[in-house]
Amino acid sequence: MRLTQGAFSFLPDLTDEQINKQLAYIVSKGLSANVEYTDDPHPRNSYWELWGLPLFDVKDASAVMYEISSCRKAKPNYYVKVNAFDNTRGIESCVMSFIVNRPANEPGFLLQRQDFEGRTMKYSLHSYATEKPEGARY
Amino acid sequence: MSQSVESRTRIKSERYESGVIPYAKMGYWDADYVIKETDILALFRITPQPGVDPIEASAAIAGESSTATWTVVWTDLLTACDLYRAKAYRVDPVPNVADQYFAYIAYDIDLFEEGSIANLTASIIGNVFGFKAVKALRLEDMRMPVAYLKTFQGPATGLIVERERMDKFGRPFLGATVKPKLGLSGKNYGRVVYEGLKGGLDFLKDDENINSQPFMRWRERFLYSMEGVNKASASAGEIKGHYLNVTAATMEDMYERAEFSKEVGSIICMIDLVIGYTAIQSMAIWARKHDMILHLHRAGNSTYSRQKNHGMNFRVICKWMRMAGVDHIHAGTVVGKLEGDPLMIKGFYNTLLESDTDINLPQGLFFAQNWASLRKVVPVASGGIHAGQMHQLLDYLGDDVVLQFGGGTIGHPDGIQAGATANRVALESMVMARNEGRNYVAEGPQILRDAAKTCGPLQTALDLWKDISFNYTSTDTADFVETPTANI
């Protein structure tokens, strides 16, 4: 399967040139950027690991690209994403997020069903990859 | 021998002599009125009956929407009556139209019960709309003071929290309404939900008139739809949802359906505007309490919002619904099949999404509005839109919107999944192009054709719907600038 979280997952994987243009957009909007990685891509996993602190007041897209490259090099078989934050009053949240690295093989999720009364069903998603311990999943 | 009315009265004030005196003289007109920060302001478009002075008509509207009755009453004197009289304070002729006027009216905050849309509207759009001295009357805009807004919950979830819950940032949400609206069995219905979500949409949606009819009772719909949602979510590793319409005949029924939607694990449920303001507020409180996103379908609004001379402008509904506490509201597409002048739609969107808005006459915003930190309502664009218009949709509507393609998804010749994928690819490629700084509006068709090279379903959609457009002039247009709806 292909994990389709993030803004551009239905398009072919972004080239570095394409990533650079998105980073330039983040910088031009005065947003801060951060890089996160995980090997537990459950959609409710809100806290991917931070690759260092977010880059605040970043003036140059290449600074973000440098962090992406370092993260990819250290975690080649992890999902890596870039987030942009807007601290404007009334937003104060993530305003952009896209995947820049994914493992070679993505086994996906099992939908577990538990029958309940009155034909209701309790559903839960189980990530196949998490059957192995953290760090040895992909 | 009977005395005259004048000699019988015990009240020695001209203002309170029994009989009928002009509203303007009764204290409902004050050209020098100083607006208080806590006043509620309203702007009406009035069409006086022939021969009725516009100031008198405006004063009458102020009177009839606050304390007045048609004749003088002495019981006014038992109250601090001047406070309770709404004041018409300004009357302007409507540009380029004969016999229509904009009347500005101020209401003291104590005229209204805290936190009650029903009470507010009983005055502002109550008896006054049937008043004979005006031929037609339209409520165009309102200014809600911060003090009053703070008595309302506001959106149960709001745009920012919805994005965090959905884990979707930096692009519009994508949705579709299940079609056909009526007649599908529960099992077949859930199939449409599954296919659309699996193809790449974030949301599927019940239509406004799908409740609990003989062909499909509500529990069937809820159970099968949630199977579709969860199966699609597992296949994509993304959070997805289906708006379960809980609209019903009674509040008890609605609560029962809403509780069940929560029990089956839905993240979003839905109501129709026709359930009424009180029911909407109740559902918003329920939604906040149960971590549920609340979608509002504006069923019925065009009955009174579409014609320019009478009824009320949709932007006022937007304001009331942000106060009432819904998270989504249908607010126009510009390019689709339903009414929508671009400037008017921009005004609706700004009303729903901004923290602070200034006066903007071309957008129909007659008052500056501070939203007192009430959360943001996500506008929903639905009705006759398709992938080939993606550049225009992104340009007109921006990122903070749910783009909802019903026919544009389900009508795809290769199936619902293909239709959904075409929309998602079109959207992502357009957002990417915009961020790259390209002139995506002008280059839109080329950007889509390029994206279609690696996405067959998008190519099919572009070929099929290339000539579809709805180029009609809107009826509800700006008074200060006229704009044709470009749709090419």
- Domains along chain B? 27-149 (3.30.70.150), 159-464 (3.20.20.110)
Q: What share of chain B has pLDDT > 90, as a percent?
A: 80
> CA dihedral in degrees (B456, B457, B460, B461; nearest 10)?
-140
- For chain A, the structural domain boundaries read 16-104
pLDDT at B174: 97
Is the per-residue pLDDT at B473 higher than 80? Answer: no
As to burial, measured by CB atoms within 10 angstroms (0-12 exposed, 13-18 middle, 19+ buried), residue B146 is middle
Give the minimum alpha-carbon distance from B174 to chain A in angstroms, rounded to a whole number.
12
Confidence of residue B345 (pLDDT cuts 50, 70, 90): very high
Q: Which residues contact B35 (CB under 8 A, 6 or more apart)?
A: B41, B89, B106
Percent of residues in chain B assigned helix, strand, coil, to nearest 5: 40, 15, 40
Measured between CA atoms, the residue of chain B closest to residue A9 is: B428
The single-letter DSSP state of residue B126 is S
pLDDT at B452: 96
Tell me: is residue B382 an annotated ligand-binding position.
yes
- Over residues B129-155, the pLDDT tens digits come to 988 889 999 999 999 999 999 999 999
User: What's the CA gap between B380 and B293, in Å, rounded?
Assistant: 14
- Over residues B82-114, the pLDDT tens digits come to 899 999 999 999 999 999 999 999 999 999 999
- Over residues A11-50, the pLDDT tens digits come to 999 999 999 999 999 999 999 999 999 999 999 999 999 9
pLDDT at B488: 39
| Residue B150 a catalytic site member | no
Is the per-residue pLDDT at B396 higher than 50? Answer: yes
Is the per-residue pLDDT at A71 higher than 90? Answer: yes
Q: What share of chain B has pLDDT > 70, as a percent?
A: 94
Average pLDDT over residues B373-385: 93
pLDDT at B468: 66
How many residues can be counted in chain A? 138
Is the per-residue pLDDT at B14 higher than 90? Answer: no
- Over residues A76-135, the pLDDT tens digits come to 999 999 999 999 999 999 999 999 999 999 999 999 999 988 899 999 999 999 999 998
Confidence of residue B487 (pLDDT cuts 50, 70, 90): very low
pLDDT at B107: 98
- The separation between CA B7 and the C-alpha centre of its own chain, rounded to angstroms, equals 55
Measured between CA atoms, the residue of chain B closest to residue A91 is: B160
Tell me: is residue B181 an annotated ligand-binding position.
yes
Tell me: is residue B14 an annotated ligand-binding position.
no
- From the CB of residue B142, how many other CB atoms can be counted at a distance below 10 Å? 23
Q: Tell me whether residues A25 and B437 touch, CB distance under 8 A.
A: yes
Is the per-residue pLDDT at B482 higher than 90? Answer: no
Q: Which residues contact B7 (CB under 8 A, 6 or more apart)?
A: none
Domain covering A16-104 assigned CATH 3.40.50.300 in the classification: no
Of the partner residues A10, A41, A94, the one whose CB lies closest to the CB of residue B237: A41
Of the partner residues A92, A110, A123, the one whose CB lies closest to the CB of residue B265: A123
* Whole-number average pLDDT of chain B: 92
Of the partner residues B263, B432, B454, the one whose CB lies closest to the CB of residue A8: B432
- Residue of B157, B160, B161, B169 best to disrupt the A interface, most CBs of A under 10 A: B169
Tell me: is residue B205 an annotated ligand-binding position.
yes
CB pairs under 8 A between A and B: 112
Q: Which residues are paired to B101 by β-bridges?
A: B46, B93
State whether residue A115 is helix, strand or coil.
strand
Question: Using a CB-CB distance cutoff of 8 angstroms, which residues of chain B are in contact with residue A1?
Answer: 235-237
| Residue B310 a catalytic site member | no
Is the per-residue pLDDT at B66 higher than 90? Answer: yes
Confidence of residue B470 (pLDDT cuts 50, 70, 90): low
pLDDT at B478: 79
As to burial, measured by CB atoms within 10 angstroms (0-12 exposed, 13-18 middle, 19+ buried), residue B442 is exposed
- List own/partner pairs for B435-442 with CB under 8 A and 24 or more apart: B435/A21, B435/A22, B435/A25, B436/A18, B436/A21, B436/A22, B436/A25, B437/A21, B437/A24, B437/A25, B440/B391, B440/B394, B440/B395, B441/B391, B441/B392, B441/B395
Measured between CA atoms, the residue of chain A closest to residue B372 is: A90
Average pLDDT over residues B368-372: 98
User: What's the CA gap between B187 and B193, in Å, rounded?
Assistant: 10
Average pLDDT over residues B307-316: 95
Do the beta carbons of residue B216 and residue B244 sit within 8 Å? no
Q: In what order do the strands lie in the sheet with B87-93?
A: B87-93, B101-107, B40-48, B134-143, B311-312
Residue pointed to by tokens 């502002």: B124
pLDDT at B485: 46
User: What's the CA gap between B359 and B477, in Å, rounded?
Assistant: 17
State whether residue A28 is helix, strand or coil.
helix
As to burial, measured by CB atoms within 10 angstroms (0-12 exposed, 13-18 middle, 19+ buried), residue B190 is buried
| Tokens describing residue B274 | 């026709």
pLDDT at A81: 98
Amino acid letter, B109: I
Q: What is the largest CA-CA distance in chain A?
A: 58
Do the beta carbons of residue B254 and residue B296 sit within 8 Å? no
Q: Which residues from A are below 8 Å from B when comparing CB atoms?
A: 1, 3-5, 7-12, 18, 21-22, 24-25, 41-44, 46, 83-84, 89-98, 108-111, 119-123, 125, 127
User: What's the CA gap between B232 and B79, in Å, rounded?
Assistant: 63
Confidence of residue B472 (pLDDT cuts 50, 70, 90): low
Of B305, B304, B352, B350, give the one whose Cα is nearest residue B325. B352
pLDDT at B477: 78
Measured between CA atoms, the residue of chain B closest to residue A89 is: B355
| Tokens describing residue B421 | 């994928």
Is the per-residue pLDDT at B1 higher than 60? Answer: no
Determine how β-strand B311-312 pairs with β-strand B134-143. parallel
- Over residues B268-311, the pLDDT tens digits come to 999 999 999 999 999 999 999 999 999 999 999 989 998 999 99
pLDDT at A105: 93
pLDDT at B2: 65
pLDDT at B21: 76
User: Which tops the pLDDT comparison, B3 or B259?
Assistant: B259
User: What's the CA gap between B427 and A95, in Å, rounded?
Assistant: 16
Q: Which residues are paired to B271 by β-bridges?
A: B296
Amino acid letter, B26: M
